[in-house]
Amino acid sequence: MKKIFLVNLDVDLPKDEKPYFSLEPLELSYVKAVLKNKGFNSEVIDEKLQKLSIKHIAEKIKFQEDFILGIRFSDFSLKKLEKFLSMLKNAKGHICALGSFATRAPKLLLEKFSRIDSIIIGDPEMTFFYLVRALINNHDWHSIKSLAFRMRENIKINLLRQCRNNLDLLPFPDRTFISLVKNKYPISIQGSRGCPWAKCSFCAEAAFIRKSKCPVWWGRNPANIVKEMKFLNKKYGVNNFSFVDECFFGKKDFIERGTKLAELIVKEKLNITYSLDARLEHIDDKMLKKMKKSGLKTLYLGIEGYDKTYLKKLNKGISIQQIDLALQICSDLNIDVIIGFIPFSYDIDFKTLKDNLLFLTKLNFFQKGLYTNILVPMQGTVFFNDLVQKGIWKLGLENQSLLWKDKRVSDLYSVISWFEKRVFFHCKQKIKKEKSTVMKKLYDDFVLASLDFFAKEKNKQQIKKFIDFWENKIREFTLFSAEFHQLF
């Protein structure tokens, strides 16, 4: 009997650049739940959550005489993927890649990795089930919709399966790892898929939607969501949830959707907190008041820039006025905000960058990493395709880098990155939220000084002198400042 594995690979990023908290592999958890409903047992393995090496995972899989492996990875896991697949080179089994990256780059993956047998385009649940059923019963699987695979010397992509618009029909996801997560991090929950805008030039989700031909956005009924929340609360004692949606709200009737969710949570007397992603046009004060009463704690807002031309380049579909109004409403309602922001781009001019960074200094909250985020070409995005078309970026899976167009921007990025690493070298513990204004002031002082310093291009000796000055200032602040030691 073939053993079914579902493996989630961690990113290749350095430890200090990885996401602070770990999320359950919800995509694979949904696949496992569907397989279970259909009578197939499977095992989900998460490299990061279980703290396993890829060698250990590969050995576990190779131990089976035959296997079916569904593997999920990201744009930042490709080196690890290559190494992992090489470990399974001579193992008997079918390897199927699934997820966002697999959907966005099926041909490139099949051309580069001979050990990948098939790739699922779009949502994986039903396609993976049909693949498993065919393989278990030794039936031909090459006609299954939404699969890509090699046929002789060519890559074939079958007709795409119609996405399941009614997410309420899916079983609740498997919660294999809930005990590893619930006492440390929020529990992941999915209220919708897609994005009602889906036009941002840099966004992998938008690229996924175009490739998979799924609806732009489709959501679960609030009653179905609250039913799962209640189940997790009663069975596992979960009281802190994080929606993994790209955008919880749809394009139409978003006020009704948010209000209904809030009313049902209150009606069920669930003493919980939750966070979710929203676009700026969804920031309605009356709706958010009700949601806050029901437990809404944090909103994730994708702002990305604070310059009209830059926002247009990113195709965000938002204005400076909307940014200011949304942040003000959240502040008035005392709702925490975590923003998505990309101040740096390889071709950004110094004035635009200055507008972006000055905006960050005016925020009334501190968020690590904001000052050094850089626009990265994600496979299949409009930004990526534009760079390829211009010959700036090569079409492929190899590591590449973009050349900065403005030396001052490049130097500024380098010194702010240095500053962040030096400051957090001294910060081994998580900063208490109520004291984070102390850290923000230190950051803001440095950014303002850097913007002033790099107003004109500087040579290496001048930059070194600037860094030495701030090195002493950081050391003095972290060693002797009473304020700093109150952060922890």
Per-residue confidence (pLDDT) for residue 479, from 0 to 100: 61
CA distances for 363 relative to 263, 345, 416, angstroms = 31, 21, 18
User: CA-CA distance, 130 to 126, in Å (whole number)?
Assistant: 6
Task: Read off the pTM.
Answer: 0.93
Taking only the tens place, the pLDDT of each residue in 68-105 is 999 999 999 999 999 999 999 999 999 999 999 999 99
How do the domains of the chain map onto residue ranges? 3-157, 186-342
Q: Which CATH superfamily is domain 3-157 in?
A: Cobalamin-binding domain (3.40.50.280)
Among the listed ranges 11-15, 80-84, 249-253, which one has the minimum average pLDDT value? 11-15
Taking only the tens place, the pLDDT of each residue in 342-400 is 999 999 999 999 999 999 999 988 888 899 999 999 999 999 999 999 999 988 888 78
Q: How confident is the model at residue 428 (pLDDT cuts 50, 70, 90)?
A: very low
**105-118 per-residue burial string, b: 16 or more CB within 10 A, e: under 16:** bbebbbebbebbbb
Write the CB contacts of 281 (distance below 8 Å, at least 6 apart in sequence): 318, 322
Greater pLDDT, 14 or 482: 14
Percent of the chain with pLDDT over 90: 82
Taking only the tens place, the pLDDT of each residue in 147-189 is 999 998 899 999 999 887 799 999 999 999 999 998 888 999 9
Write the CB contacts of 2 (distance below 8 Å, at least 6 apart in sequence): 64, 66, 67, 68, 93, 135, 136
- In this prediction, residues 106-114 reach a mean pLDDT of 96
Taking only the tens place, the pLDDT of each residue in 189-242 is 999 999 999 999 999 999 999 999 888 999 999 999 999 999 999 999 999 999
CB distance 310 to 323 below 8 Å: no
Cβ burial of 314 (10 Å; 0-12, 13-18, 19+) is buried
Please count the CA atoms within 13 angstroms of the CA of 311 that sit on its side-chain side: 18
The residue to which tokens 């929203």 are assigned: 278
Per-residue confidence (pLDDT) for residue 400, from 0 to 100: 85
CB distance 187 to 232 below 8 Å: yes
Cβ burial of 151 (10 Å; 0-12, 13-18, 19+) is exposed
CB distance 60 to 43 below 8 Å: no
Q: How far apart are the first and last CA of the chain?
A: 53
Residue 400 DSSP code:
-
Write the CB contacts of 236 (distance below 8 Å, at least 6 apart in sequence): 175, 178, 179, 182, 187
373-377 contacts, C-beta under 8 A, 24 or more apart: 373/341, 373/342, 373/343, 373/344, 374/342, 374/344, 374/345, 374/346, 374/413, 375/202, 375/314, 375/342, 375/344, 375/345, 375/346, 376/75, 376/202, 377/202, 377/402
- In this prediction, residues 259-263 reach a mean pLDDT of 98
Taking only the tens place, the pLDDT of each residue in 37-64 is 999 999 999 999 999 999 999 999 999 9
- In this prediction, residues 1-12 reach a mean pLDDT of 93
- In this prediction, residues 21-50 reach a mean pLDDT of 94
For domain 186-342, the CATH architecture is Alpha-Beta Barrel (3.20)
User: CA-CA distance, 301 to 241, in Å (whole number)?
Assistant: 17
Helix (H, G, I), strand (E, B) or coil at 297: strand
User: CA-CA distance, 349 to 339, in Å (whole number)?
Assistant: 22
Q: How confident is the model at residue 429 (pLDDT cuts 50, 70, 90)?
A: very low
CA distances for 475 relative to 29, 93, 471, angstroms = 46, 55, 6
Residue 11 is encoded by which pair of tokens? Answer: 């990113």
